[in-house]
Chain A
Amino acid sequence: MEILMCVVAGLLFAASVYMMLSKSLLRIIIGTGLLSHGTHLMLLSMGGLKKGAAPVLGEHAASYVDPVPQALILTAIVISFGVTAVILVIAYRAYQELGTDNMDQLRGIDTDD
């Protein structure tokens, strides 16, 4: 199971790298979303999967999965959600202001403004 998850995470990373290497800003942002998904899956499988019951069942549970990675993922998801929202807003504002979403035209050698 862990190996399957690792392969899935790897596929997500591959897709995200592909998306981030494109020129359109929106594709790049989707790429960062995929990157964080891959990261979270990776983090989930780090604690080991399918070990037993739900975590907090009292002291005498026979076996339970590690709750720490789940807590970490929850935090990381919230953060990546916030960052994605910010970057979408800034990308839209930049598109309005600069009139393009093509990264080739956003290189910025000139010192306008």
Chain B
Amino acid sequence: MINLPILPIFIPLAAAIVLIFLSKNVVAQRAVSVFASAATVLAAFIVMLKVKDDGIQTVDMGSWPAPFGITLVSDMLSILLVLTASIITLCVVLYSFRSIGSGREAFYYYPIVQFLLVGVNGSFTTGDIFNLFVFFEIMLMSSYVLIVIGGTKIQLRESIKYILVNVISSAIFVIAVGYLYSVTGSLNMAHISSRIAEIGTDPIITVLAILFLIVFGLKGGIFPLYFWLPGSYAAPPAPVLALFGSLLTKVGIYAILRTYTLFFFHDQPFTHNILSLLALLTIVAGSIGALAYRDVKQILIYNIIIAVGVLLFGISLMTEDSIAGTVFYLIHDMIIKAGLFLLGGIMIYITGTSSLSKMGGLIRQYPALGWTFLVASFALAGIPPLSGFVGKVLIVRAGFEAGEYTGAIVVLLSSLVVLYSVVNLFMAVFWKTPETPLPKGKKQTISLFIPAAALVALSVLYGVGTEAVYPFVMQAVDALIHPEIYIDAVLKE
């Protein structure tokens, strides 16, 4: 047994604790943050190579053998998402230097970002359902601080609603875990899966599936539980928004993907039909929002909801192709959303507003920013050979093969809506002549631009280098489609 899988959780945790004591020294905080984030990326990369060579890695915490103790499980899906999340956090930390403001920097911004990474990486890695709840709470607690830090009026107002929604969903999560424990008598996810396979299609399992869908749907922002998302996400500044938009909702999606492939795959005609219906409604609701708003933040936020719908539709089909598409699209969406929000943050920084009607003509002074944003927009819409294409084409093809014509067509149409909304955004911000002339003099944006452009470049590489990523994703899909692989690796039968 090796302890490698714990490193991507432990490094940010240790860094966060050190950072708390460095709160007065901003330069030291920045240095430690960057060093820790880079170390996390490196650790995640090493674990990924290890998983690629030797299969699923597990760590029994405190040497209590599974299923009695808490087990950390790094399968390919977990570690790919951990790696992506760590890279995004590194870029966001670099971006924060010039954008988050000295007030926030002095009040524990950097430690909280590291704690958020602990929660996110932990949620991806854990193999214990109650431990998942605990890591969710770590993540949520950090997000409560991040959403309110700075203490502007809009942040205080929105953070109250955000916290209330999440407190309620946490309570439902605990109840659902309690029910699951009373039905299966275990908390280890692999053990639960094998116990549920013995029970089969008992109605209580279906009830549990819906309960978990409500819990994770509230975090992930699926229809009709996304109502809190646009308001709350618009409140914090751009780097925090990038973290939220790319990591938090995706943790919810990961949890749905994990539970619906590991636990609740016995009564598919019921549960996965509900999932598919909700996915399509989510896409429609997101599309309406993305078309209706004339505000940089809101347009990008509603694009999160569209992506959530596409991912859910991929999960609901439950074929090898669709799950592969979902994994591809999940990683793509995390990277590109972070990049887009960071680019959007630069636009807001330059113009001092997020309203489209007050922007315009940026392309003269900031051509690099404009073209990078356009590339990111195309990647988001899924234009080949950029990164969104592969995931979407797999999901749509699986949809047609499964006879879900409506769903597949809605996903295809949603690409058009995405393309229209972001290109519209591009035209309004960069092309059209502004009504009020721009402030004279070019603002210094290079230190903001580099991390954002790095994410967009990574996304382009991910799209062009699909061939190289393919074996990794297929290994992840293999363990999702065949839960036995996961169960055997954890319980070592």
Residues of A within 8 A of B163 (CB): 83, 86-87, 90
Is B178 touching A69 in the complex (CB atoms < 8 A)?
yes
Q: How far is the CA of A2 from the CA of B172 in the complex (A)?
A: 20
Q: How far is the CA of A2 from the CA of B187 in the complex (A)?
A: 21
CB distance from B219 to the nearest CB of A (A): 15
Q: How many A-B residue pairs have CB under 8 A?
A: 99
Contact with B along A45-85 (1 / 0, CB 8 A): 01100000000000000000000110010011001101100
Is A72 touching B178 in the complex (CB atoms < 8 A)?
yes
Please name the residue on chain B nearest to A32 by beta carbon.
B167
Residues of A within 8 A of B133 (CB): 76
Number of residues on chain B facing chain A (CB within 8 A): 33
Tell which of B153, B158, B171 touches A97, judged by Cβ atoms closer than 8 Å. B153
Is B141 touching A35 in the complex (CB atoms < 8 A)?
no
Is A35 touching B171 in the complex (CB atoms < 8 A)?
yes
The reply on B151 being an interface residue by CB < 8 A is yes
Residues of A within 8 A of B17 (CB): none
Q: How far is the CA of A12 from the CA of B273 in the complex (A)?
A: 33
Q: How far is the CA of A29 from the CA of B437 in the complex (A)?
A: 47
Q: How far is the CA of A32 from the CA of B181 in the complex (A)?
A: 23
Residues of A within 8 A of B178 (CB): 39, 42-43, 46, 69, 72
Please name the residue on chain B nearest to A94 by beta carbon.
B156
Is B177 touching A72 in the complex (CB atoms < 8 A)?
yes
Is B187 touching A68 in the complex (CB atoms < 8 A)?
yes
Residues of B within 8 A of A40 (CB): 174
The reply on A93 being an interface residue by CB < 8 A is yes
Interface residues of A: mostly helix, strand, loop or mixed? Answer: helix
Interface residues on A, range: 35 or more
The reply on B348 being an interface residue by CB < 8 A is no
Is B157 touching A108 in the complex (CB atoms < 8 A)?
yes
The reply on A3 being an interface residue by CB < 8 A is no
Is B175 touching A93 in the complex (CB atoms < 8 A)?
no
Is A113 touching B153 in the complex (CB atoms < 8 A)?
yes
Is A86 touching B171 in the complex (CB atoms < 8 A)?
no
CB distance from A30 to the nearest CB of B (A): 12
Residues of A within 8 A of B179 (CB): 46
Please name the residue on chain A nearest to B295 by beta carbon.
A111
Is B130 touching A93 in the complex (CB atoms < 8 A)?
no
CB distance from A70 to the nearest CB of B (A): 12
Is B171 touching A39 in the complex (CB atoms < 8 A)?
yes
CB distance from B150 to the nearest CB of A (A): 10
Q: Which residues of A contact B (CB under 8 A)?
A: 20, 25, 28, 32, 35-36, 38-40, 42-43, 46-47, 68-69, 72, 75-76, 79-80, 82-83, 86-87, 90-91, 93-94, 97-98, 106, 108, 111-113
Q: Which residues of B contact A (CB under 8 A)?
A: 130, 133-134, 137, 141, 144-145, 148, 151-154, 156-161, 163-164, 167-168, 170-171, 174-175, 177-179, 181-182, 187, 231
Can you list 25 pairs linking A and B with CB atoms under 8 Å apart?
A: A32-B167, A35-B171, A39-B174, A39-B175, A43-B177, A46-B178, A75-B130, A75-B134, A79-B134, A83-B137, A83-B144, A83-B163, A86-B145, A87-B164, A87-B167, A90-B156, A90-B159, A93-B148, A93-B156, A94-B160, A97-B151, A106-B157, A112-B153, A113-B153, A113-B154
